Structure 1
């Protein structure tokens, strides 16, 4: 169990460092509606689908976080339908629940203009999605939640990107 916490901490640290470096390189690139806010996102088509033409990074990020919360709730329901006695599914449900907590906190961070805490909480959510996938990978079993887990990881990555545009 302690190894899992060290791994999660390492992932959060790595993601936070990445966000800080990305935000430094992005600068003030998108202040007007003339540009595609998702042009430098890791998953551009997904970003464009989620933000639906929004041009204000703060508004776009809020929308993206809300969409990720919806997907996380959906993933928990899917995990419940796969059975309650599977230890790997239990890891996923706990991870998705932790991600929901981090996402709700990130909305508060966004509202309070606490950019550092925002990035930490978004990184934590991303780490939680990775934890679910890792549980199945380490077991040698296929992840029955692999598609939605991958989607949420991509969405969380895009949220981190959008947070780098918020000033």
Structure 2
């Protein structure tokens, strides 16, 4: 979960920076990157909630929080697919989704 959290923080910085700094970026792309940034905030909250649930030995909450990560990352991608555009965050979201799946698999062993 720590590795996932670190990767989410990096993806959030990249998305936020691209939304503000990239010259010539159209409004919709910048707006979608802000959606991604918000989704990454949600993912960080879910990871924190999962960590608390692990300490409390609350498997139901832990699984819910970790499952929500996949939704958080797909929300970013969905914002781009709705406008038939390629997401600049696609590689990061693919990696993050795999990391979330790994967290879920490991959590099932607890």
TM above 0.5: yes
Count of residues in Structure 1 that have an aligned counterpart in Structure 2: 102
SS class of match (1:113): coil
Superposed structure 1 runs of 4+ greater than 3 Å apart? none
1:97 equivalent in structure 2: 41
Structure 2: runs of 5 or more not aligned: 21-26
2:94 equivalent in structure 1: 150
1:71 equivalent in structure 2: 7
Tell which has more relative contact order, 1 or 2 (C-alpha 8 A, sep 6+): 1
- Deviation per CA, 1:85-115: give whole Å up to 9, x if none: 6111111000000000000110000011000
Instruction: Please report the TM-score for the alignment, with normalisation by the length of structure 2.
Output: 0.89
Instruction: Please report the TM-score for the alignment, with normalisation by the length of structure 1.
Output: 0.59
CA distance in 1, matches of 2:3, 2:83: 30
Aligned residues: CA RMSD: 1.0
Are positions 1:106 and 2:50 aligned together? Answer: yes
* TM alignment of 1:127-142, pairs within 5 A: 127-142=71-86
Structure 1: runs of 5 or more not aligned: 1-64
2:24 equivalent in structure 1: none
More off after superposition, 131-140 vs 67-76: 131-140
Larger radius of gyration: 1
